[in-house]
Chains A and B, each alone.
Chain A
Amino acid sequence: MTEATKYTFKDFASDQEVRWCPGCDDYVILRAMQKALPEMGVKKEDVVFISGIGCSSRFPYYIDSYGMHSIHGRAPAIASGVKLANPDLSVWVITGDGDSLAIGGNHFIHVLRRNLNLNIILFNNEIYGLTKGQFSPTSLIGQKTKTSPYGNTQPPFSPGELGIGAQARFFARIGGNTPKEMTQLFIEAEKFQGTSLIEVLQNCVIFNDGCFTKYTDKAVRPDKQIHLEHNKPMLFGKDRDKGLVLNGLKLEVVTLGENGITESDLLVHDAKEPDPTLHSMLVRLDYPLATGIIRAVEELTFEAREDALTKEVSANSKFNKVDDLFFSGETYQVK
């Protein structure tokens, strides 16, 4: 792996011209990834990006590694095949809210359930970009789009809630305008043994500009987001004076110093807690919006289970070659 550490972000930039709209957060994500890849200790030829369809799914063309721009919604299933064929590869799924939560919803939940060691980056912009502005499964009630001129009437999914419901072992959320944290998150996702799901709040400047501004704008970010870190108290705010406590079955925002609250009263984030209850509550939280690694619970991966079973079956098998099988059992001679 010493060789891998020599890479710079340029080694992962392909010769293809990037074609997203100027100002799109997709550029930020691409750059964060190109910076993260050299830090992961993986060889360039072992990296595979698989995408579906949508603006985000052009991503693999811009990374100089192995990649496939596939068909709408199917990237998790294709990536599963890649990983099962060669578990040594570093496999990344690039998808959007329409791609993974609408047409590809079935593959999305099942890939999380199985827990292969691969990484999914979900570019959530709460809109269909490439098809020019229809509402998506994460669009808000009332949102006016090409297909909801009077306002959207379909309640949205929360990708994290759906993901954790489908047994995601790793879930992280990050604003599309925080490249440094994003780079770090990608590195953490690669380190994690199991399926990592990262939701990026990705601003689409053309069809849904500003949809996340109330959380992600630099001016309000410290007050509106809580960036969770494992083993650290749930503290946020420009002045680091706000925090989260559990009140009954609800999370509640408290202010340090008020009503005798001190830092020791705050919840301490435990991303490794197997019980997903608190993680789900954090995911649902509207104020503050939880970002960072919300859940990271390692357990045996699907490929590890398969590998162990294969070894066990092989050790007990009397068949080494197919001929052993073909000529076994109920055969008879014609003389």
Chain B
Amino acid sequence: MATTIKNSQPEILENVVIRFVGDSGDGMQLTGMQFTDTSAMFGNDVATFPNYPSEIRAPQGSLYGVSGFQVHIGSVEISTPGEDLDLLVCMNPAALKTNLSALKAGHTIIIDTDSFTKKNLEKALYASNPLEDGSLNNYRVIEVAMTSLTKVALKDMGLDNKSITRSKNMFALGMVYWMYDRDMNYTLEFFAKKFAKKPIIAEANSKVLKTGFYFAETLELIPNSFSISPSKMPKGTYRIINGNQATAWGFLAAAEKSGLELFLGSYPITPASDILHELVKHKHFGVKAFQAEDEIAGITSSIGASFAGDFAITTTSGPGLALKGEAIGLAMILELPLVIVNVQRGGPSTGLPTKTEQSDLLQAMYGRNGESPLIVIAASTPANCFDWAYEAARLTLEHMTPVLLLTDGYIANGSEPWKIKSIKDMPPITHKQIKGGDPEKWNVYDRDSVTLAREWAIPGTKGFEHRVGGLEKDKTTGNVSYIPENHEYMTNIRAEKVQRVQNSIPDLKADFNDEGDLLIIGWGGTFGSLHSAAKQLSDEDYKVGHAHFNYINPFPKNTAEVFSKFKKIVVCELNNGQLAFILRGKFPNIEFSQYNKVQGLPFGASELTKKFKTLIK
């Protein structure tokens, strides 16, 4: 049933969306990442979306054990991992069943036919074999006996059966490399390095990759071959980075710039653990990454480190943030610098650990006892997690109040090109540590007249010995105070201090149009989807603007003004309307429509444009 279409000239495409799907043991993440890196090196803009089950090794062939990696490459600006697929690479029936609906009609599926056994079809709950029953007639199906071909290729190498079948993903990758005119060298070098100690495995993988590549080339089985030119990105040195790595590196940069040592107190939790994994590697920068006994010890050890003068952070995801609530309140009343990173995932409770969502916004804003406002900011793309981690550091160290940085599973695991920033090009960070001076003229809660930040006297500094604590403090001395007026004063000044951050952050800006019929609002990790949808509508001459919040508490000063220039406003979120709720409280005279989705998945551009068009009419 394989279609044969010859085409001597490669078709020139602007962008292509490819998804590799298979069993969680089939190496789909690695395959996808190799394709991504190779494309980025070639000069394409790229964005990725790994989607994997929370079970480490789900039963083979099961529907819930399917692991996927989607990559969007282009010669044009790529701001999302894409929506509808141009190519689906499918390693088993379960993967086909769970992913077929995303493939555009008439487009290509590459299938490993060896995996379409009776047993696997049953596990995928197929009543009949889709390769035979005509259900794939609307697609171009490339049937390849990948497992057998891999076995033949490796038969003389003396490898065990498991190692052989494990490399069949490279057969698929080789085929896709040929289809999209990619160079194999990057991946061949990757094998040589990764398996330096096991050269036979490196050789086997290389051999299978090449076999797949030449198979695609020679056998005329490939319906089409495509070419995507390098995209026009700003000049510079790049690397592919995912959001968690970018977050970790932003903190490394901030520590070096501020001259402080970085302390991370953390407890493993999906999808935030990769920040911890990254930072434990960097002892050479003086990083103290402490894996604590629980979430609470993660944050409280950081509070201790901050009290003692380190730049301290803690990283977690939704349920962990709930556990840290009381301690965040402590950091807030102590007025110590601390960054709390929440890599959001589907909730509530354990929810959907490996899926994305934006449903912790209200928790971030209000999830503590008492009046305890924090600075809340959100990163919006994988690469800009670097900038927002750095900004979180700047804000907490300059304003002496905790900052809660929100990212999410989608941008944390997604990757894209990052134009590498050198530390010398980063803005300065001025912390408030006391170096000397007259302790007689100093009080614990003396404040900077502009920011209201207090000074940071750390243990070891002679003459500045003092006590802090979770009980309400006298507004000057920091001694315990139960005086009613003092409590109100302190409550207000802590809130005012957060509010005054407005003076040190840039204005909100609407992209595409700064006035018009519809303003599309979002925050955090939905930037790419909203940006593409807005761009598409704007290209079609709709008068839409896109304003995206990275600063959430406080909002930029000009927020109301930006809102006032549009006839309608729609707030788009991967939750049931949490930012919309906050906006209605802050701007009671403005009407906000909503578009919400809580499926553990990012927005697709087409659902958005459809919704926006109905709003404009």
**Interface of A toward B, CB cutoff 8 Å:** 14, 16, 43-48, 50, 53, 60-61, 64-71, 74, 77-86, 88-89, 106-107, 109-110, 306, 309-310, 313-314, 317, 319-323, 325-327, 329-335
Task: Using known A-B contacts A66-B465, A68-B307, A69-B467, determine if residue A77 contacts B237 with beta carbons closer than 8 Å.
Answer: no
**B265 at the A/B interface (Cβ < 8 Å)?**
yes
Contacting pair B283 A326 (CB below 8 A): no
Known interface pairs A78-B301, A84-B288, A321-B423; A61-B469 also in contact (CB < 8 Å): yes
- Residues in B with CB closer than 8 Å to A334 are 43, 230, 233-236, 238, 419
A77-B297, A81-B290, A86-B459 known; A322-B469 Cβ under 8 A = no
A61/B480 in contact, CB under 8 A: yes
Please choose the segment from B103-111, B211-219, B248-256, B579-587 that sits at the chain A interface, where 4 or more of its residues have CB less than 8 A away.
B248-256
Min Cβ gap A309→B in Å is 7
Q: Is the Cβ of B467 less than 8 Å from the Cβ of A322?
A: no
Among A60, A77, A314, A323, contact of B300 (Cβ-Cβ < 8 Å): A77
A46 to B463 Cα, complex, angstroms: 11
- What 17 additional pairs, Cβ within 8 angstroms, besides A69-B467, A323-B422? A60-B467, A66-B459, A71-B330, A77-B265, A81-B265, A81-B308, A85-B261, A85-B305, A85-B306, A106-B293, A106-B294, A306-B288, A319-B282, A322-B423, A325-B252, A326-B239, A334-B234
The CB with the most chain B CB atoms within 10 A, among A50, A109, A333, A334, is that of A334
User: Which among B234, B253, B288, B459 is the interface contact of A45 at CB below 8 angstroms?
Assistant: B459
Partner of A74 from B238, B297, B422 at Cβ < 8 Å: B297
CB distance from B416 to the nearest CB of A (A): 13
Q: Is the CB of A84 within 8 A of B465?
A: no
Q: Which B residues are in CB contact (< 8 Å) with A61?
A: 467, 469, 479-480
What CA separation (Å) do A50 and B292 show in the bound complex? Answer: 18
A311 vs chain B, min Cβ distance (A): 9
Tally the A-B contacts, defined by beta carbons under 8 Å.
Answer: 204
Q: Determine the main DSSP class of B at the interface with A.
A: mixed
Known: A64-B465, A80-B290, A110-B297. Is A71-B460 also a contact (CB below 8 A)? no
B230 and chain A: residue at smallest CB distance: A334
- With A326-B249, A330-B240 known to touch, is A77 a contact of B465 (CB < 8 Å)? no
Instruction: Contact check, A85 vs B460: say whether CB atoms are below 8 A apart.
Output: no
B178 is an interface residue with CB less than 8 A from chain A: no
**Chain A residues closer than 8 Å to B306, beta-carbon distance:** 81, 85
Interchain CA distance A61-B468 in the complex, whole Å: 8
Give 19 CB contacts A-B under 8 Å: A45-B461, A53-B470, A66-B459, A66-B466, A67-B468, A70-B330, A77-B297, A77-B301, A81-B307, A82-B308, A83-B308, A107-B297, A310-B283, A310-B286, A322-B285, A323-B422, A325-B282, A326-B420, A332-B239
Q: State whether A85 touches B304 (Cβ < 8 A).
A: yes
Please indicate the chain B residues that have their CB under 8 angstroms from the CB of A82 in the complex. 304-305, 307-308, 459
Chain A residues with Cβ below 8 Å from B285 are 319, 322, 325
* Residues in B neighbouring A109, C-beta threshold 8 A: 293
Give complex CA distance A67, B480 in Å: 13
Nearest A residue to B301, CB-CB = A81
Do A333 and B237 touch across chains, with their CB atoms under 8 A apart?
Answer: yes
User: Is B551 in the interface zone, CB < 8 Å from A?
Assistant: no
* Cβ-defined contact, B256 with A322, below 8 A: yes
Interchain CB contact under 8 A, A16 and B460 = no
Nearest Cβ on chain B to A83's Cβ, whole angstroms: 8
Collect the chain B residues with CB atoms within 8 Å of residue A43's CB.
462
Tell me how far the C-beta of B331 lies from the nearest C-beta in chain A, rounded to whole angstroms. 10
Chain A residues whose C-beta falls within 8 Å of the C-beta of B421 in the assembled complex: 326
B300 to chain A, nearest CB (A): 4
Q: How far is the CB of B385 from chain A (nearest CB, A)?
A: 14
Of B261, B302, B466, which one neighbours A81 at CB under 8 angstroms? B302
Ranked nearest first, the 7 interchain pairs of A and B with the lowest CB-CB distance are A81-B304, A69-B469, A81-B301, A317-B284, A85-B308, A77-B297, A78-B304
Separation of A304 and B302 alpha carbons in the complex (Å): 19
How far is it, in angstroms, between the C-alpha of A310 and the C-alpha of B303 when the chains are bound? Answer: 22
Known A-B contacts A43-B462, A45-B463; the reply to A333 vs B420 at CB < 8 A is no
Taken together as a complex, chains A and B put the C-alpha atoms of A106 and B294 apart, in Å, by 8
User: Which single residue of chain A is at the shortest CB-CB distance from B329?
Assistant: A71
A50 to B468, CA, bound (A): 10
Q: Are B282 and A46 in contact (CB under 8 A)?
A: no
- Cα distance, A229 to B466, chains bound together (Å): 37
Contact B304 A88 (CB under 8 A): no
Is B145 engaged at the interface, CB distance under 8 Å to the other chain? no
Task: State whether B301 touches A80 (Cβ < 8 A).
Answer: yes
Partner of A70, one of B253, B419, B459, B469: B469
* B470 closest partner in A (C-beta): A71
Asked if B41 lies at the interface with its beta carbon under 8 angstroms from chain A, I say: yes
B40 contacts A by Cβ under 8 Å: yes
A186–B160 Cα distance when bound, in Å, is: 63
Which of B43, B238, B307, B460 contacts A78 (CB under 8 A)?
B307
Q: Which of B43, B292, B326, B465 has the most CB of A within 10 A?
A: B465
Minimal beta-carbon separation of B437 from chain A (angstroms): 14
Inter-chain CA distance A335–B235, complex, in Å, is 5
- The chain B residue sitting closest to A57, CB to CB, is B469
Query: In the complex, A60 Cα to B208 Cα: how many Å?
Result: 67
Query: Is the Cβ of A68 less than 8 Å from the Cβ of B334?
Result: yes
